[in-house]
Structure 1
Amino acid sequence: MPRALLSVYDKTGIVEFATSLHELGWLLLSSGGTAAAISAAGVPVTDVAEITGLAPILDHRVVTLHPKIHGGILADRSNPEHVAEMEKYGIEGIDLVVVNLYPFSLKPGIELIDIGGPAMVRAAAKNFAHVGVVVDTADYSDVLEMISGDFFGVAERRRLAQKAFRITSAYDASISSWLADETSDHEDATVPPILTLVAERAEVLRYGENPHQTGARYRLPGVESWWDSATQLNGKEMSYLNVLDTEAAWQLVSRFDRPAAVVVKHANPCGVALAPTIFEAYSHAHGADPISAFGGIIAVNGEVNGETATEISKTFTEVVIAPSFTSDALEILCAKPSLRVFEAVAPFGSMAINVRSIDGGLLVQSVDEVDEPLDDFTVVTKRAPSADEWSSLLLAWQTVAATWSNAIVLAHGDTVVGIGGGQPNRIDAARLAIGRAGDHAAGSVAASDAFFPFGDTVSELAAAGVTAIFQPGGSVRDEESITAADTYGIAMVFTGSRHFRH
């Protein structure tokens, strides 16, 4: 008679699974809460203690760690010496191990570090030639179908073993990360000597960056993400670029306390505005660069009503994301079957590191924080910015940090009017921003993601009518820029921090 050992934290479907195994002629072994649940359903089950001859000890820290359990799982039934040893020590084979682990990532702590569970999973996965292992409740029905159809062979067990090792690997990585957070200094926690990244696939995307590429979005176990709580209310499946652009738009718009709208294209903002209402904010953000907004992503940080939805629907858009939508807004937006509409909460700020791939490895860095206190900013010119200029400068500063480098952003009032990004030199970035701003450049303010290497960029901005500038400072020729700013009556502030983005 085949034997199955069941020991699960998540008891979803376990009684039904055990019942089906019993009806198929399997002998069931279990312990603790799992055994109690199966027994309460009237299904015969043998307690592990009857096999080992030992009751659980050390507050259940040791239950299944016994040769009669692990010998039954690990024995190579094709090896005569193994078979002889099993007979010698009275060990019976275990043919199926059903285990899911304590959810360490949800509630980390020493007592949630599962020892016996991973040991059984690894043992069964190692011996997939003879033993099946089930670590996911979603696999119960498939496994029962294979067992009842008598095609639960090596290939099927190997697939389950692969999944099992992925699960135990992720589990160990969660524990390692928790221990690092508890014991390491900040630098070690961000760039540890050994970095273990384990992620589970959350969704398969329509395609990657281009249609001939495959793509998927992955989630990090135990890390809160707004993606996991977001609801897609309409539209097609997401592509790689849709996810990338939506993330960029949602992160940026969520930085603002006032009603705000952001339009993003190719992971770069092309429209950003603050206003008393979401309708006004969107109208101003879109109006700043309507050509680039075509086919973009729209993010707003307040409820979308019918008036705003009507305005949005006038332009082809890939994604609209907001905290909420009125019923009439949804009726308008969902009339476009391809338009992806997302309702989401603000980002949790749970990104501890940025990771990018290089040939044969990864680049890892801490996340760029943009919310610097104003006390760290230094006015370096004779004139300080006015209150209105400060407000516009802060808007431009937040926006430039979200733009590909080299970047310069112009803002007029509460609207970003010109964005010049992704340029190999700073003066071209300034010219691009000025060109995008057009007549709105006069009276605007500018923010630069890095210092001005020469004074010529200040002169270029002054000629366009820019009245105030944020820049990090730090060039050996800072005095050139300061002198130029004073010459043109421009107020300039050194922020002391650079915000390159590549």
Structure 2
Amino acid sequence: MRVLASVSNREGLAELAHELSRDGHDIVSTGGTAAHLRAAGIETIDVAAITGFPEILDGRVKTLHPKVHGGILARRDLPDHLRQLGEHAIAPIDLVISNLYPFGETLAKTSDDGAIIEQIDVGGPAIARAAAKNFAGVIVLVDPADYPEALDRIRSGRDDLSWRRLLAAKAFRHVAAYDAMVAAYLTGGLDFPETMSVPLLKAQSLRYGENPHQSAALYVTLPIPPRGATLATGEQLHGPDLSFNNMLDMDGAFACVRDFAAPTAVIVKHGNPCGLASADTIGVAFDRALAGDPVSAFGGAIAVNRPVDRDLARAIASAVYHDLAAPAFTDEALTILRMRKNLRVFRVDLETNRSASRFALNLKRIDGGFLAQTLDARSEDDVAMTVVSARPPTDAERGDLRFAWRAVKHVRSNAIVLARDRSLVGIGAGQMSRVDSSEIAVRKAGPRSAGAVMASDGLIPFADGAEVVAAGGVTAIIQPGGSVRDREVIEVVNAHGMAMVFTGVRHFRH
């Protein structure tokens, strides 16, 4: 058997090549791969000795030659193909070991366009694709994890067609993901290209999907961000295996606290915040978030945007929660949290995550396709607050209105939140009518609605929503505005002595 090896990731290659060579198989290799094998004491044939042509153009052309591709692509079951190999003195190649230039790693290290372009592999994908196409006669290995099984199957004669087919599919996926990374880099800032490939790598299987009868897995985008830079690459420090719902709730929770500069804590259940607060310290923020709806908080997902210390860990460990995401944990905090067997503890770097999340599309599956949109990631630091009521909001109301406006974008539409002292005191989420969401928010707040402010993720279409919160003692409202009945809503606001501002921006979330 003749083996062609040309790899960038040399993990396990010398060990595999040593065993293959010991079994009497010829090893053909290129450039750095050949040098690596020779350094390990493995006899290697240079590809130039096969092609009769040297590597040229600083190694850009090595294996792009008929004596290489002919040996890979020839069908062993066609006498005419075998005859042509003989006519041109081409030896069949039976095993191709190939993985590609480290394009993703280069992207992570440099912004030098020239250096990045040099890491676009041409020959590697070509030989991998050729071997994968001809899997009936050729074995292709693109993943070092497959080397031990491959050696065992070759030695035992169990290199059957079904196994080769699986390896071929893996090779095509490997090349496709690589090409997608390159295309994404070259596409640059174009949000919606005419075709789109999303390179993903399976990070782990999940316990189950949204329901136990559904299967699920976690995939990370390529190139892979550093460990802990995003939720998908976050570091799980404690707890049982993750499920689909754990990841969704932590994603929503961490996206929420990432929007706040002050120490902020959120508790999420089924994709919606049930408690959210900012304060001067993260411990106080958590206490206030929990006070927002302590009943719903049971079994929720917590995220904070400050390190978790001993006191906060004790507060969290005193009740039942399923997930906790934070940028850091003290050793004391981890010791305490690990006493909660079923609490998943996740470390996610806040600042890296904040910047990394600005350049992506949101994709949602629909029947037969996907919807793509840019992220709702606009800064709320300079949001317009156009006063439309007879009286302007007070300074204290303005602070709470800004807090509520940041919060409401993380609640499912139709969304109404009531806030007071930088804490949510009432949340109405996911209702089909906005007035129903308003009634739920006031009911949840109880007496705390008196003196609170209200935020609405979409325009208030009728005056009844304003009437409901006015009856609860709400003193100020922030909303996008733009209803044909804005004047009626303003009249109700003025009649109750409330303040109201328009932002001109909507924050629907479905």
Fold match (TM-score > 0.5): yes
Q: Quick one: which of 278, 282, 286 aligns to 2:282?
A: 278
TM-score (norm 1): 0.96
Deviation, 1:240, is 0.6
Q: Distance in 2 between matches of 1:374 and 1:74?
A: 61
Matches of residues 45-444 of structure 1 in structure 2 within 5 Å?
45-107=44-106, 109-181=116-188, 189-222=190-223, 224=225, 225-346=229-350, 347=353, 348-350=356-358, 352-374=360-382, 376-444=384-452
SS of the residue corresponding to residue 450 of structure 1 reads: coil
Total equivalences in the alignment: 495
User: Is the Cα–Cα contact under 8 Å of residues 467 and 492 in structure 2 kept in the other structure?
Assistant: yes
Q: Quick one: which of 488, 491, 494 aligns to 1:486?
A: 494
Give unmatched runs, 5+ long, in structure 2.
108-115
Deviation, 1:276, is 1.7
RMSD: 1.5
Deviation, 1:193, is 1.8
TM-score (norm 2): 0.94
Aligned to 1:447: 455
User: Is the Cα–Cα contact under 8 Å of residues 223 and 350 in structure 1 kept in the other structure?
Assistant: no
Q: Distance in 1 between matches of 2:375 and 2:481?
A: 21
Q: Distance in 2 between matches of 1:230 and 1:110?
A: 29
Q: Distance in 1 between matches of 2:81 and 2:262?
A: 71
**Which one-letter code corresponds to 1:296 in the other structure?**
G
User: Is the Cα–Cα contact under 8 Å of residues 96 and 132 in structure 1 kept in the other structure?
Assistant: yes
**Which one-letter code corresponds to 1:21 in the other structure?**
L
**Which one-letter code corresponds to 2:418 in the other structure?**
L
- The alignment status of 1:9 with 2:8, answered yes or no, reads yes
User: Is the Cα–Cα contact under 8 Å of residues 6 and 99 in structure 1 kept in the other structure?
Assistant: yes
User: Is the Cα–Cα contact under 8 Å of residues 128 and 171 in structure 2 kept in the other structure?
Assistant: yes
Deviation, 1:331, is 2.0
Aligned to 1:499: 507
Give unmatched runs, 5+ long, in structure 1.
none
Greater displacement, 264-273 / 384-393:
384-393
Q: Distance in 1 between matches of 2:381 and 2:304?
A: 25
Distance 1:453 1:192, change over 3 A: same
Give a deviation string over 1:179-223, Cα, whole Å, max 9, x none.
221xxxx6xx22222122232211111000011111111111115
Where do 4+ consecutive residues of structure 1 move more than 4 Å?
none
Q: Distance in 1 between matches of 2:140 and 2:239?
A: 38
Q: Distance in 2 between matches of 1:214 and 1:235?
A: 20
Aligned to 1:29: 28
Q: Distance in 2 between matches of 1:168 and 1:253?
A: 37
Greater displacement, 379-388 / 277-286:
379-388
Deviation, 1:442, is 0.4
SS of the residue corresponding to residue 257 of structure 1 reads: coil
Q: Distance in 1 between matches of 2:105 and 2:460?
A: 47
Distance 1:370 1:488, change over 3 A: farther
Q: Distance in 2 between matches of 1:372 and 1:296?
A: 27
**Which one-letter code corresponds to 2:151 in the other structure?**
L
Deviation, 1:20, is 1.5
Q: Distance in 2 between matches of 1:383 and 1:227?
A: 43
Give a deviation string over 1:143-183, Cα, whole Å, max 9, x none.
112222221222221111010000111111112222221xx
**Which one-letter code corresponds to 2:390 in the other structure?**
K
SS of the residue corresponding to residue 69 of structure 2 reads: helix
**Which one-letter code corresponds to 1:206 in the other structure?**
R
Deviation, 1:273, is 0.6
Q: Quick one: which of 434, 447, 460 aligns to 2:468?
A: 460
Greater displacement, 376-385 / 262-271:
376-385
User: Is the Cα–Cα contact under 8 Å of residues 220 and 233 in structure 2 kept in the other structure?
Assistant: no
Identity of aligned residues (%): 47
Q: Distance in 1 between matches of 2:307 and 2:343?
A: 18
Deviation, 1:61, is 1.6
User: Is the Cα–Cα contact under 8 Å of residues 118 and 168 in structure 1 kept in the other structure?
Assistant: yes
Deviation, 1:15, is 1.6
Distance 1:375 1:341, change over 3 A: closer
User: Is the Cα–Cα contact under 8 Å of residues 478 and 500 in structure 2 kept in the other structure?
Assistant: yes
User: Is the Cα–Cα contact under 8 Å of residues 358 and 375 in structure 2 kept in the other structure?
Assistant: no
Q: Distance in 2 between matches of 1:375 and 1:73?
A: 61
Q: Distance in 2 between matches of 1:381 and 1:374?
A: 20
Deviation, 1:351, is 5.2
User: Is the Cα–Cα contact under 8 Å of residues 229 and 345 in structure 1 kept in the other structure?
Assistant: no
SS of the residue corresponding to residue 135 of structure 2 reads: coil
Deviation, 1:370, is 4.2
User: Is the Cα–Cα contact under 8 Å of residues 383 and 503 in structure 2 kept in the other structure?
Assistant: no
Give a deviation string over 1:54-91, Cα, whole Å, max 9, x none.
11122222111111000000001111000100000000
Q: Distance in 2 between matches of 1:59 and 1:323?
A: 44
